[in-house]
A = this chain, B = another copy of it.
C-alpha cells in the first residue's frame, strides 16, 4: 500500500467528488440533460476567466487550444510577436512557423519573466503586428508574466493578445476583460483540477474581427463553427464533445466557486511561498531568481551539483508515491518541478517537501531531515493557512 500523491503542474489532484461525477454514466451530448450541464459549465468558466466574452470548450489538450487560437485569429503571412519565457513560449513559436506566420520572437532566459516594455517597443517598430502571444504562467519554469501590463499596452494597437493561461488560471488572479485580453486559453487539468482532455478559450470582440477575416484552413478547431453551434438553442458543440470531462469541469468549478476565487488565490500564494522557503531552507536553489517573477502554480528547483535529478524524482515516486515533474526542453535534467496547483492543501506541500528531503538524503545530499518541512509548517502556521 503506497499512497499516491500527484504533485505535478498538470495533471493536478482530482477530488473524490469530481471523480465520482466524471465516472457517472454518460448522457447523450444532444440531450437536454447534457445541455443543462454544458450551459452551466460554460457559464462557470466565464466567471473563472472573469470575462463576458464567449468561452468555448474544446476536446483536446491545451496545445489544441493554442492551435485553435492561432489558426483562427491569423491568416498565412500575418506578422505576429511571441514573447517566449520557456518551453510553452517555444510552442507558440513552433505553431506560428508551422502555420506560415511572419514570426517576431523575443526570447527571455528560462526562469525570467517578460518585460512588457519590450512588447511596446516591438509594436512601435512593427505596428502591423496582428497578435502578441505569451504565457501567463510559464509551466516549464514557474514564472508568472504580467498579463495585465501586456494587455494594457496591446489594447492601444491593432493587434490582439493571445494568452496561454493554462497553468495560471485558478492559482493567480486573472482578469480577462479588465486586463483587455483577447484570446485566453485554459485547460481542464490544471487549476480546475478536472481530468485531462479539454481546453477552453475565450474570444473578445477584437479577436472576432480577426477570426472572421482569417483565411487559415481549419476545421476541427474552427471557432466560427463553435460559435454557430453555441448559438443554437440549446447550445451545442460542433463535434461530439468529451462529455464526462465537461461533467467533471462543471463539478470542479462548483468546488472552486464554493471556496471563492480570492481565497483560492490566497491559498496558492501560501502553498507557493511555503514551497519556496522550504526548498531554500533545505539548501537548494530556485530556478526563478527574482521573487517577483515567481508564480503560484509550480516551483522549479535547480538540481544540486552531484545529484542525478532523474534518480531523485524516481526515489520520490517509487519509494514514497510522490510524483513530481522534471525539466522540459533545455531544462531537462537540470531542474525538478513541484506543482502546487488546484486541489492542493498545506499537507500536500508538507508531504512533497518531506519526500524531497528523504530522497535527497538517500542520494547523499547533506541536509537536516525535517528542516524544510518545519519551514513550510512555519509559513502555514504564521499565515494562518487554516483560518483563525
Contact = CB atoms under 8 A, between A and B. Distances in A.
B25 A22 contact: no
How many copies of this chain are found per oligomer? 2
A370 interface: no
A323 B23 contact: no
Contacts of A6: 25-28
Contacts of A240: 10-11, 61-63, 187, 189, 196
Looking at chain A, what size class is its interface with the partner chain?
35 or more
A73 B51 CA distance: 39
A196 B241 contact: yes
Pairs of residues from A and B, 10 with the lowest C-beta to C-beta distance, nearest first: A23-B23, A197-B242, A61-B239, A63-B239, A61-B240, A195-B244, A67-B220, A64-B220, A11-B26, A196-B243
A221 B100 CA distance: 17
A242 B239 contact: no
Given A61-B239, A196-B241, A244-B22, A219 B99 contact: yes
Chain A interface, >50% SS class: loop
Given A4-B25, A6-B26, A26-B195, 18 more contacts: A10-B240, A14-B25, A19-B23, A19-B24, A23-B24, A27-B323, A28-B325, A31-B317, A59-B59, A59-B61, A60-B239, A61-B241, A98-B218, A195-B242, A196-B242, A197-B242, A197-B244, A197-B245
Interface string A165-199: 00000000000000000000001010000011110
Contact of A59 (B10, B25, B64): B64
A57 B100 CA distance: 27
A169 to B, nearest CB: 16
A213 interface: no
Contacts of A218: 98
Contacts of A281: none
Contact of A31 (B27, B60, B245, B323): B323
B197 A241 contact: yes
Contact of A243 (B4, B11, B241): B11
Contacts of A60: 59-60, 64, 220, 239
